[in-house]
Amino acid sequence: MSVLVNKNSKIIVQGFTGSEGTFHATQMIEYGTNVVGGVTPGKGGQKHLDKPVFNTVKEAVDEVGADTTIIFVPPAFAADAIMEAADAGIKVIITITEGIPVADMIKAADYIKGRDCRLIGPNCPGVITPGEAKVGIMPGFVFKKGRVGIVSKSGTLTYEAADQVVKQGLGITTAIGIGGDPIIGTTTKEAVELLINDPETECVVMIGEIGGQLEADAANWYKASGSKKPIVGFIAGETAPAGRTMGHAGAIVGGSDDTAQAKKKIMRACGIHVVDSPAEIGKKVKEVLG
């Protein structure tokens, strides 16, 4: 078992023939990911990386049965790409693109609400189920197969955590990079819930950052769920100065519990094993798994 993506996922790449799309699709295929084609409007009918190119996502769904997409479309067109994927019936929409205008994401998030699909990201490293599918931009070799799930807002910090877990002789079921934008499709709580409910995952690593309520929501859900599956948590940004990126009004909506200290306190109160040092994530996982 694993969550979101596995060896049976039929994956397409939106923005397939662009430089980012080409580079990462190549890496994904080399990893052994089941890439069944790609979409670049106007280039339908061509072959790229030995895979068919389609004009629309709908064609890719109809002709090769695509159920998962990874989006590398430039920011100005990315929200449109998300909505096209949802409209075509894609189930898992992983959006790597960084820098999508917030106004566009408000529309895209509203559009996909109530549809049978799940958005991961945007501005995220993607999702990897080691040995089965790498649907993202992460270095595949860092992630060895195992029984620890990872949920993180950050790319390189996910790699760091996976590396530490692997060096403890353990491995990863699925690592989910949820992204760091103000509006993201899958929240920390939803990603944690997926992994807690995954029978193969025996421990979850939850990595957050300052700002927002996502980690607190996940922690409260975990406590209420009564799950005995351990979670190891880390929040980056204890030393980050307050108010550098947020306006006054935003700070009010966020409340006073979005600092690293406040989040860690909530997480600890909900039974999460919180580490203060980012160098201790792997060790702590080993310790709680015994």
Partner 1 sequence: MNLHEYQGKEILSSFGVRIQRGIVAQNANEAVAAAKQLTAETGTGWHVIKAQIHAGGRGKGGGVKLAKNLQEVEDIAGKIIGMNLITPQTSKEGKKVHQVLVAEDVYYPGASETSEFYMSVLLNRGTGRNMIMYSTEGGMDIETVAEETPHLIFTEEIDPSVGLMPFQARRIAFNLGLSGNAFKEMTKFVASLYTAYVKSDASLFEINPVLKTSDDKIMAVDAKVTIDDNALFRHKDYMDLRDIREENAIEVEAKAVGLNYVDLDGNVGCMVNGAGLAMATMDLIKQAGGEPANFLDVGGTADAARVEAAFKIILKDPAVKAILINIFGGIVRCDRVAQGVIDAYKNMGTINVPIIVRLQGTNADIAKELIDNSGLDVMSATEFQEAADKVQAVLSK
Annotated binding residues, written as ranges, equal 17-20, 43, 96-98, 159
Told to check if 27 binds partner 1 by CB under 8 A, we report: yes
Q: Helix axis angle, 188-196 relative to 214-225, nearest 10°?
A: 30
The minimum distance between CB 122 and partner 1, in angstroms, equals 11
Told to check if 46 binds partner 1 by CB under 8 A, we report: no
Told to check if 207 binds partner 1 by CB under 8 A, we report: yes
Q: Which residues of 246-266 are buried (b: 16+ CB within 10 A; e: fewer)?
A: beeeeeeeeeeebbbebbbeb
Binding residues for substrate: 159
Distance from C-alpha of 122 to C-alpha of 182, rounded to nearest angstrom: 10
Told to check if 137 binds partner 1 by CB under 8 A, we report: yes
Distance from C-alpha of 57 to C-alpha of 37, rounded to nearest angstrom: 10
The minimum distance between CB 146 and partner 1, in angstroms, equals 18
State the burial class of residue 145 (Cβ atoms within 10 Å of its Cβ: 0-12, 13-18, 19+).
Answer: middle
Q: Where in the sequence numbering do the catalytic residues fall?
A: 248
Told to check if 114 binds partner 1 by CB under 8 A, we report: no
Told to check if 210 binds partner 1 by CB under 8 A, we report: yes
N-terminal to C-terminal alpha carbon distance within the chain: 22
The minimum distance between CB 217 and partner 1, in angstroms, equals 9
Reduce the DSSP state of residue 117 to 3 states and report it. coil
The residue among 31 and 54 lying less far from partner 1, judged by its C-beta, is 31
Binding residues for CoA: 17-20, 43, 96-98
Distance from C-alpha of 283 to C-alpha of 147, rounded to nearest angstrom: 15
Query: Which residues would be at the binding site for partner 1 (CB under 8 A)?
Result: 23, 27, 75-76, 99-107, 109-110, 137-139, 141-142, 152-160, 163-164, 180, 182-183, 207, 209-210, 212-213, 234, 236-241, 244, 247-254, 260, 276-280
